[in-house]
Amino acid sequence: MLVQWRLLATDSSDARFDVFKNGVKVIRTGAGEATNWRDVSGDLQARYAVRRVDDQKPSDALNLPDGYLSIPLDRPAGGITPDGVAYEYQANDGTVGDLDGDGRYEIILKWQPTNAKDNAFAGFTGPTLIDAYRLDGRRLWRIDLGRNIRSGAHYTQMVVQDFDGDGRAEVALKTADGTIDGAGRAIGDAEADWREDGGEIPSHDRTGAERKPDGSLAAGLVGRILSGPEFITVFDGRTGAALASAPYVPSRGRAGDDATSEEMAAIWGDGYGNRSERYLGGAADLDGRLPSIVMARGYYGRTVVAAWDWRDGRLSQRWVFDSDTAPEGYAGQGNHQFSVADVDGDGRQEIIYGTMALDDDGTPLWTTRLGHGDAMHVGDLDPTRPGLEKFGVHENVVGNGGVGSAMVDASTGEILWRTPGQQDVGRGVAIDIDPRYPGAEVWASNSNDLYSADGRVISPTHPQQMNFAIWWDGDALRELLDGTRIFKWDWENQRSVPLLSAEGAASNNGTKANPVLVADILGDWREEVIWRTADNSALRIYVTPHPTAIRHVTLMHDAQYRSQVSGQNSAYNQPSHPSFAFKTAQPAESGH
């Protein structure tokens, strides 16, 4: 039986802990020892508790005999769209926050209907629902975003952190007329229906379009939401009640929420909501004191990023960045996610928005002009260099000079090294999987090669897995997560070794195959993974069974990691990276 517990940033470096079994102290850890202990005589019925030596009261441990904590879900009933199509609900992406201030995280979960749509495609969808659950399975509240928020990966991003410093997390969402908060109250006009009921407009995008007899392309409008009020709303984490709303920034049109298709095409690049209705969200510490809400719209062309503060019961706008008024080279650089990190070391975090970055005050910091991409990683990827790095893959290789992937200095945007690409490079990973080389190893779908952090080819073979990452076993290397399986890269034999196959679990978002969440939310510094069950009846929080000799503060007390966890659910989910690199490197073999 493995017992593990948190080391907090506020704990002293030599803090010691007592472990109790069935009320009897069985061990006191030594100063500097890891915060886990294997009870070789443990049994499934035993009850454990842990107390820091200078504390009075032990904290009871969760007992997980199956290797995971099962949280029953209240699955919503399905429905029927106006055109008669039935849909059901699947548990989708999630995040965590201490909503009630009790020191334990709650789970905030997005329910997505089975008729959710990518922006390229027309059609009605069922509404998106947001639930909050305690770890004991009690549902705290449900928010119904309503018919005027379309369902799909690019429409709803959940931003959860303690924005006002009161010890409880709030929830920020994009809302619209008819959103019902956790207290049953409507936002805006509860009767409004802004969904398009038919029609089409000319399109230059092949995906999702219908080809006409004359060879032209047309995009259908049915089910799209191209007019009506839009809001940003902050909700009370305890009750789900709306605390404040403000008009969403930016609006669709120059003068407000309504715009003609011609105006939308001129502003965003199309007139049917493919580009204008792509939203991103996250949290960033912009003042060195408290996190701010960061909401964004657009990344293929015009890009607008707005930062908001929730302080003293008031929602206020901190700043707005608009690529239309920025220097040349900042439009069309966004990814299907953004990342957050303090890239200049001033104690305030910047926004790395794909292949460009914004300073903590919203001013342009740098752009590589390499364009849109599907995946990126920001952290201390190369610890032999000062500061942080950003690795990303790129889609428009025709327009960016044939660059398929690139490693960039996160403070300046200087391209440190690159790899060529001949077509859209849709996958790329940067994590430490080989102890012979310092920092992250890097690979992407445009090459079979595995690269060191400084751009050297270190192997002609890389892991087949190019999805997610997790700290799972006992060493400081990171493991590979793909679908519902976890793998260890055997760097000596160049193969992926299975560590866990989560039978009965399911991943999210089709070929993206991501979990609900990966984060350090229980136990010591290793990460947990949350998957839904295949029948959507429960969430499972899987916890590592492996002991570790490494003592480390919980990753959630690293500001960069915490911010990246907040944004992990945004659109195309990416693993979270801390601001530091674990020391794993050993001298490479001769010839490498």
269-326 residue pLDDT tens = 999 999 999 999 999 999 999 999 999 999 999 999 999 999 999 999 999 999 999 9
Q: Which residues of 143-156 are buried (b: 16+ CB within 10 A; e: fewer)?
A: bbbbbbbbbbbbbb
What is the per-residue pLDDT for 65? 86
517-568 residue pLDDT tens = 999 999 999 999 999 999 999 999 999 999 999 999 999 999 999 999 999 9
Domains of the chain as residue ranges with CATH: 2-60 (2.60.40.10)
The pLDDT of 140-151, averaged and rounded, is: 99
Residue 585 has pLDDT above 70, yes or no: no
pLDDT class of 591 with cuts at 50, 70, 90: very low
User: What is the pLDDT of the chain when averaged over all its residues?
Assistant: 96
Q: For the chain, give me the number of helices (H) and strands (E)?
A: 2, 46
pLDDT class of 590 with cuts at 50, 70, 90: very low
DSSP bridge pairs for 540: 70, 531
What is the per-residue pLDDT for 60? 87
Residue 90 has pLDDT above 70, yes or no: yes
- Separation CA 388–CA 581 (nearest Å): 10
DSSP bridge pairs for 371: none
57-74 residue pLDDT tens = 888 888 898 999 999 999
pLDDT class of 586 with cuts at 50, 70, 90: low
Residue with token string 């926004």: 351
Sequence-distant (6+) residues with CB within 8 A of 138 are none
Cα-Cα-Cα-Cα torsion 106, 107, 111, 112, nearest 10 degrees, comes to 150
Contact in structure between 206 and 149 (CB atoms under 8 Å): no
What is the per-residue pLDDT for 462? 98
Strands 403-409, 389-393: parallel, antiparallel or unpaired by DSSP?
antiparallel
What is the per-residue pLDDT for 58? 85
Sequence-distant (6+) residues with CB within 8 A of 566 are 95, 159, 160, 161, 282, 283, 291, 340
Contact in structure between 279 and 309 (CB atoms under 8 Å): no
- Separation CA 187–CA 179 (nearest Å): 5
Three-class SS string for 402-463? CEEEEEEECCCCCEEEEEECCCCCCCEEEECCCCCCCCCEEEECCCCCEECCCCCEEECCCC
Residue 587 has pLDDT above 80, yes or no: no
- Separation CA 161–CA 170 (nearest Å): 6
Q: How many CB atoms lie within 10 A of CB 238?
A: 17
The pLDDT of 431-437, averaged and rounded, is: 98
Contact in structure between 249 and 306 (CB atoms under 8 Å): yes
Sequence-distant (6+) residues with CB within 8 A of 315 are 232, 234, 243, 244, 245, 246, 308, 309
What is the per-residue pLDDT for 105? 98
Contact in structure between 116 and 512 (CB atoms under 8 Å): no
- Separation CA 439–CA 169 (nearest Å): 33
- Separation CA 130–CA 173 (nearest Å): 10
The pLDDT of 342-367, averaged and rounded, is: 99
221-265 residue pLDDT tens = 999 999 999 999 999 999 999 999 999 999 999 988 889 999 999
* 240: amino acid identity, one letter: G
What is the per-residue pLDDT for 589? 39
